[in-house]
Structure 1
Amino acid sequence: MITLYDMPASGNSYKVRLAAAHLGVPLKRVTMSARDGSTRQAAFLAKNPIGKLPTVELEDGRFLAESNAIMLYLAEGGPLVPADRYERAKVYEWLFFEQYSHEPALAVRRALFIYEERAHLATPERLAQLLEAGNRALDVMEARLVGADWLGGNAFSVADIALYAYTHTAEEGGYDLASFPGVRRWLARVAALPGHIGLMD
């Protein structure tokens, strides 16, 4: 069985759990925190030199980090990754967008609100910058979802899982999703799928 080192409130860890749930892949969970220094200890750094969660230990003892890379490993050859070369590349496009344009705004702004040790970083200027960047990312998603059910092609994929993780908690970071009806319908569509689990499940 694959062992997942995860932080329950983390959207990046949630992506891996959600993908595994949809794929029917059992995980042995080891709950950790990136907030208490445990991921910076030698024992964990031997598993993942960048000291971040999530990290998985595969059945053969090898380790893999980065949430989107882990999802792609789990989903290889299955229904969450398109077989068509172009459609698969479009899924990857959304995965890169999530890590470069979406997560650095939505996830970071949420963290400033929910983690007390980061409160001192929540200056008005920083919050405004993150709000603007996050709304730009949501605009990109809205442009796609106003006329499509899913992000990366015509079927639910790892692209939807990657973007769902921090979009569905966007309001915890002060984002107003009322202006994004396509995004809101998509969020409900994802949550209604068989096999769906919540962030804290």
Structure 2
Amino acid sequence: MKSLPNILSSLRIILAPIFLYLYLQGGLIWGGLSILIFTIAAITDYFDGHYARKYQVESSLGVFLDPLADKVLTFSAFIVLPFIDPSQFPWWAVILIIIRDVFMTGLRVYANKKDMQMKTRSFAKTKTTIQLTFLYIALFLGVFEGTGNILADWSEIILSTGVMFWLMMFVTFITVYSGIEYVFTNKKLFRNSASS
């Protein structure tokens, strides 16, 4: 089934706003359900890439759609963070991360239009792993906060320490840094743009 990877990427795009809506409803049940949906969406990222490579059904649409779906999913998760605690997860940091990813998506689209292959860096995968780990920690803290149980107490203690703010700063830094690294690695795209 050649279209399966693109179907999975499209499913990820569809699940992202559902996760966002459910998480913002608040409460343990809605929050837990939203994280389950987020996890299912994240799992599709592995399977669509694995299937496309294993059966050699990669397409130009898939090359564009897969990273776009990843960005939409991570955007939805980062967007909910200031609603948990804007002092720990400031809007400016979320906006900076989104701007970086939108720029990189635009650069990838430009490269595809020019039939050029963007060079990737291994650090990009490290960045994604760090982002997802951080997001899961933050999302779980937000779900349990204010639920009146022992996990809620621990969530409030962790949030009160300010450690999540510094983790947010770290994630923002490596996200922006990886974008700058991409730009320098793919300088030929800009040279071709200037000469065209």
Which of the two has greater helix per residue? Answer: 2
Q: Same fold (TM over 0.5)?
A: no
Normalising by structure 2, what TM-score? 0.35
Larger gyration radius, structure 1 or structure 2: 2
Normalising by structure 1, what TM-score? 0.35
